[in-house]
């Protein structure tokens, strides 16, 4: 049997790195006042259809959707923001002091073509700020937080790009202008862009096709078509980043694939990832909550691709040590086994990692095994040791041995 294409097993020691990343996220996000939300893995298909939009690739061809036994259509979640908003409305979070700051970590599912850094089950670390206002300070602090997180992890080659895509007042006018300009060069565009030009012209700006680049560069820039409120907001966000010492570049073609964004959008790339180099995407989505039947609620957030974050950390040599084993208990004799079990229990309770072989082995073989596992010490227990209460402790790095009582052994290990 094989795992399904685009899914994979995460194994030790790599999982230690996953844990460290998630723990660091929890620490950093907590210091910014975020609390954790845990969400269902599957939701009503309609939630994603309404929020992400029917014309997006994610909804139209990448979701894992099935009809449940009661005839309702459900989907594995392709992202977390829609669920966070549903929860905000359903759980009455508008009654709480605003804004509500939430993060969540878990698997997402999209039927994309698998390649390095792109999977069908992948993991996101997601943070959302819901309610309150659209003050640029909220976007500024959110971006500062993710940059702090990356810095804490030692991620390298981190680059932040920002843009504003306007709001429901100015964006439609720009989109029409863009569509009109694209239509003029329609014949020179590929089939994907020709289609997107009609369904969602902003997506054409995402195109990576070599022969379309020159044409796209000549298109009108949204920054020149923002309404007064959006222009002021964008300036405010840039000022916030400067105040916080966060370096950024501007990219007028950064529009994000999902439909519900407004105003600030941002993307962060990192080193060592090849073509799939985006580790985080985010932005403001003031219109989404209403779209889902909630009260008007300003909101902003980001999603980090955890798989890519880990890949990038591995590329720069941040590989975790194999599982630690402090003590390997080499025991011989049925009477001794009871003592070995008790010793393992008390050493583990004191916080040490202990390997207790379940079957009796000759001391030579046991010590070989201890070496292979990279244990630091072997505790040698035979009849003599149990009778005298003096245990033999061997330091595997240099082969030295000493005799210690149980309390002395604990002291000895603690001092290291």
CB of 161 to ligand AMP, least distance (A): 12
Least distance between ligand AMP and beta carbon 2 (Å): 19
> 261 among the known binding-site residues?
yes
267 known member of a binding site: no
Q: Which parts of 133-282 fold into alpha helices (H)?
A: 136-153, 171-184, 191-199, 213-217, 228-243
Q: How far is the CB of 1 from ligand AMP (least distance, A)?
A: 23
- The answer to whether 151 is a known ligand-binding residue is no
CB of 198 to ligand AMP, least distance (A): 22
When the beta carbons of 62 and 141 are compared against ligand AMP, the nearer one is 62
- Residue with the two structure tokens 């209403």: 290
Give the residue with the Cβ less far from ligand AMP, 194 or 276. Answer: 276
Residue 304 Cβ, how far from ligand AMP at the closest point, in Å? 6
Q: Which is nearer to ligand AMP, 59 or 93 (CB)?
A: 59
Strand duo 159-164 + 262-269: pairing = antiparallel
Residue with tokens 């439609």: 172
Residues 395, 56: Cα–Cα separation, whole Å: 61
How many other C-beta atoms are found inside a 10 Å radius of the C-beta of residue 91?
Answer: 12
Residue (117 or 131) nearer to ligand AMP, CB: 117
Q: Is 298 annotated as contributing to ligand binding?
A: no
Smallest separation (angstroms) from ligand AMP to the CB of 80: 8
Which C-beta is closer to ligand AMP: that of 116 or that of 186?
116
Kindly tell me which of 86 and 110 has the beta carbon lying closer to ligand AMP. 110
What letter would DSSP give residue 115?
B
Q: Which is nearer to ligand AMP, 166 or 281 (CB)?
A: 281
Q: Whole-number minimum distance, CB 351 to ligand AMP, in Å?
A: 36
- Indicate the DSSP class of residue 274: T
Element (H, E) at 33: none
Smallest separation, CB 306 to ligand AMP (Å) = 8
Q: Which position's Cβ is nearest ligand AMP?
A: 305
Block residue for tokens 């000759």: 362
- Tell me if 78 sits within 8 A of 84, measured CB to CB: no
Q: Is 87 annotated as a binding residue?
A: no
Which residues bind to ligand AMP, rule: CB under 6 A? 79, 110, 112, 117-119, 122, 124, 257, 278-281, 303, 305, 307-308
Residues 303 and 281 sit within 8 Å (Cβ to Cβ) = yes
Residue placing its CB nearer to ligand AMP in the complex, 303 or 329 = 303
- Give the helix/strand (H/E) hosting 342: helix 334-349
Whether the Cβ atoms of residue 124 and residue 81 lie closer than 8 Å to each other: no
Tell me if 128 is assigned to a ligand binding site.
yes
Does residue 124 have a known ligand-binding role? yes
Q: How far apart are CA 394 and CA 328, in angstroms?
A: 10
Q: Quick check: 126 and 292 in contact, CB under 8 A?
A: no
Instruction: Report whether 110 belongs to an annotated binding site.
Output: yes
Burial of 295 (0-12, 13-18, 19+ CB in 10 A): exposed
* CA 162 to each of CA 34, 263, 269: distance values in angstroms, whole numbers, following the listed order: 23, 10, 12
Residue 397 marked in a binding site: no
Instruction: List, as one string, the DSSP characters of 311-326.
Output: HHHHHTT-PPPPPP--
Residues annotated within the binding site for L-histidine are 79-81, 110, 124, 128, 256, 260-261
Residues annotated within the binding site are 79-81, 110, 124, 128, 256, 260-261
């Amino acid at each position: 049997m094989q795992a399904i294409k685009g899914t994979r097993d995460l194994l030790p020691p790599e999982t230690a790195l996953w844990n460290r990343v998630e723990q660091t996220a929890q620490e950093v996000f907590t210091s910014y006042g975020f609390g954790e939300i845990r969400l269902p893995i599957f939701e009503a298909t309609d939630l994603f259809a309404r929020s992400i939009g029917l014309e997006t690739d994610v909804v139209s061809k990448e979701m894992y959707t099935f009809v449940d036994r009661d005839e309702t259509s459900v989907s594995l979640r392709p992202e977390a923001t829609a669920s966070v908003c549903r929860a905000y409305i359903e759980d009455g979070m508008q009654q709480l002091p605003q804004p509500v700051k939430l993060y969540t970590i878990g698997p997402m599912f999209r039927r994309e073509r698998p390649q390095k850094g792109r999977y069908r089950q992948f993991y996101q670390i997601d943070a959302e700020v819901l309610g309150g206002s659209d003050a640029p300070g909220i976007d500024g602090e959110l971006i500062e937080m993710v940059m702090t997180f990356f810095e804490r992890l030692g991620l390298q080659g981190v680059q932040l790009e920002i843009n504003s895509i306007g709001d429901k007042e100015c964006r439609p006018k720009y989109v029409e202008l863009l569509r009109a300009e694209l239509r003029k060069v329609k014949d020179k565009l590929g089939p994907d862009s020709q289609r997107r030009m009609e369904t969602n012209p902003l997506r054409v700006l995402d195109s990576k096709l070599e022969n379309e680049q020159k044409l796209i560069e000549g298109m009108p820039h949204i920054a020149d078509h923002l309404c007064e409120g959006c222009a002021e907001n964008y300036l405010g966000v840039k000022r916030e980043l400067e105040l916080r010492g966060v370096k950024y570049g501007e990219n007028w073609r950064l529009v994000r694939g999902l439909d519900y964004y407004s105003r600030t959008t941002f993307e962060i790339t990192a080193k060592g990832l090849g073509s799939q180099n985006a580790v985080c995407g985010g932005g403001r989505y003031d219109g989404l909550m209403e779209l889902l039947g909630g009260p008007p609620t300003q909101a902003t957030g980001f999603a980090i691709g955890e798989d890519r974050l880990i890949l990038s950390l591995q590329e720069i040599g941040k590989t975790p040590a194999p599982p630690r084993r402090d003590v390997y208990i080499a025991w011989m004799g049925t009477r001794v086994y009871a003592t070995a079990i008790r010793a393992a229990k008390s050493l583990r309770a004191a916080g040490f990692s202990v390997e207790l072989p379940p079957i009796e082995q000759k001391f030579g073989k046991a010590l070989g095994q201890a070496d292979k596992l990279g244990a630091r010490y072997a505790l040698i227990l035979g009849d003599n040791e149990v009778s005298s209460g003096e245990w033999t402790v061997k330091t595997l790095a240099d082969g030295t041995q000493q005799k210690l009582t149980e309390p002395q052994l604990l002291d000895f290990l603690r001092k290291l």
